[in-house]
Structure 1
Amino acid sequence: MLAGGTDVIVQMRTFDREPRTLVDVKYIEELNRVSIEDNETYIGAAIPSGVLNENQKLKSLYPGLLESADLIGSTQIQGRASIGGNLCNSSPAGDTIPALIANAAKCLIAGTHGTRNVPVEDFVTGVGTNCMTRTEFLLGLILPRPRPRTQDAYLRFIPRTEMDIAVVGAGVSLTLDHDRVCTHARVGIGAVAPTPLLVTKAAEALIGTQCDETSLQAAADACRAAASPITDKRGTVVYRRKVVGVLCYRAGVIARDRILNGQN
């Protein structure tokens, strides 16, 4: 399937991959619409991230997710690259995937036997592989409407200032009640394991607290414990494990402060 083509065209040239057929899906309506309903939001798999970032309603509901989409490549790349394509490329370092996990997004997959929903944390099965069969493709993403007093945040670390592959990424979504106590949390991390991860123990460390320094540090420690990174030219195992905790902590602070500052 060819949506933006910012990954597949490069792979065809770099790795000498020649698919027998390329199907352009950029003009299929179901893959190119955004629908914001009372209980959920639908984002078509082929919508360019640059278009999404112009949607102010989406920005107010999912600021961290939109921030992650804004980190994909240059302005020119964002005119074509999509969140759906970033997910289907199935890289452990995909920027939008931890943010989608933090927002409890589900993949709407279509195939010869109908459609099915798969949580994003279960979609990527390995480096460059996912759960879809040869007769399936990604229609779009379904995100639950955020609860009242909910905000999210995404942070990544890269060696350069922009247009680089994440060494580590972390997405956090928090819900606070009126006493500032966390009632719901989700934490997603990327580039520190063969697949992006949902870290339930990090969320458990935050729920029931006011997301203070102690609980945020406990969440950071849970992310470090969940990580199983490798050493490569962008970072060592020790370095990545350290940084993932730092990014979880900082993303948690941003999400918490967005709620306290009245952004929801």
Structure 2
Amino acid sequence: MPAPHFDYLAPTTIDEAVAALVKGGKDARVMAGGTDLMVKIRHRALFPKQIISLKKIDGLDAITFDEKSGLTIGATALLADVASDPMIREHYPTVAEAAESTANVQVRNMGTVVGNLCNASPSADNAPTLIALGATVNITGPSGTRSMPLDEFFSGPGMTALKDGEIVTSVFVPTPPAGTGTAYISVSQRGQLDCSAIGLGAKVTMDGNRCTDARIVVGACAPVPLRTKDAEKMLIGQELTDDVIRNAAQKASEETSPIDDVRATAAYRYKVTTVITIRALTDARKMAQRKQ
């Protein structure tokens, strides 16, 4: 079945893209890689009259890192480039792992991290780790630029906090403190050929054996990627023993609100969330101990 007809615009500056989006209104859609957008159009889930591509905007594909401030991933930086970038693999290995876990080679060679976030799927592979690391999104719109924490960006399945005419230009990840370890684990029926039935990002910062900060973010088990804040509180200030990790993992599972769908049942998600939270926190603890 052929895709519906639409006009294709390729602005060369972000200001031109914002102006085109404002002019197009609800009939316009922004495209970074297009791996999610074009599928929806072909399946007739969306009927945009205009597609505004960001590909020709100079600099939006940049990946930059500064040891003092952190990592910036531009809106058109490919998943494959994020997964293979040596700076990311050294300083943010879990960000690279999450990008490499997204879909398959063909999708990673076209899709982008920012596009994956803006699609706002609760199962987005890149969201849990980035939220765990305290990432923010940089946004440009008719009123200028602004930034917001990534964990406030999602408002529901397929919905974000973007206002009319706004475009995410990059995602910023601060430099983790010394003694910080991270982990990302995803579970799906067919590996990378399928969306995650559950995805989980964890971060712990340790001083000796004591946890000074922690984040646990679960994907595909709530309407948005979910921080399990009660479970996090059970870790902070504690010695990260196996018992403490197991109790926090159980609490993390209890904080989720999964549903039955084609990928997994709610009961399965509750049980497996506990299991992979234990694994992720254990892996993050090992990394944190190495980095002290």
TM bucket by the smaller chain? over 0.9
SS at match of 1:242: helix
SS at match of 1:258: helix
Q: Once structures 1 and 2 are overlaid, which stretch shifts more, 48-57 or 207-216?
A: 207-216
SS at match of 1:22: strand
Q: Deviation of residue 180 (structure 1)?
A: 2.3
Of the candidates 40, 49, 52, which is equivalent to residue 20 of structure 1? 49
SS at match of 2:50: coil
Alignment of 1:202-221 (within 5 A): 202-221=231-250
Q: 1:16 to 1:93 in 2, by over 3 A?
A: closer
Of the candidates 132, 139, 153, which is equivalent to residue 109 of structure 1? 139
Q: Distance in 1 between matches of 2:280 and 2:222?
A: 19
Of the candidates 225, 233, 252, which is equivalent to residue 262 of structure 2? 233
Q: 1:212 to 1:29 in 2, by over 3 A?
A: farther
Q: 1:39 to 1:16 in 2, by over 3 A?
A: closer
Q: Deviation of residue 172 (structure 1)?
A: 0.3
Over 4 Å off, 4+ runs: none
Q: Which residue identity lines up with residue 259 of structure 2 in the other structure?
A: I
Alignment of 1:1-264 (within 5 A): 1-37=30-66, 38-177=68-207, 179-260=208-289, 262=290
Conserved? CA contact 2:83–2:95, under 8 Å: no
TM-score (norm. length: structure 2): 0.86
- Percent identity, aligned pairs only, is 32
Larger of the two Rg values belongs to structure: 2
Number of equivalences:
262
Kindly provide the CA deviation profile for residues 141-173 of structure 1, in whole angstroms up to 9, marking residues without a partner as x. Answer: 111111012121100110123221111111001
Q: Deviation of residue 209 (structure 1)?
A: 2.4
RMSD between superposed Cα atoms in Å:
1.4
Q: Deviation of residue 16 (structure 1)?
A: 4.5
Conserved? CA contact 2:182–2:201, under 8 Å: yes
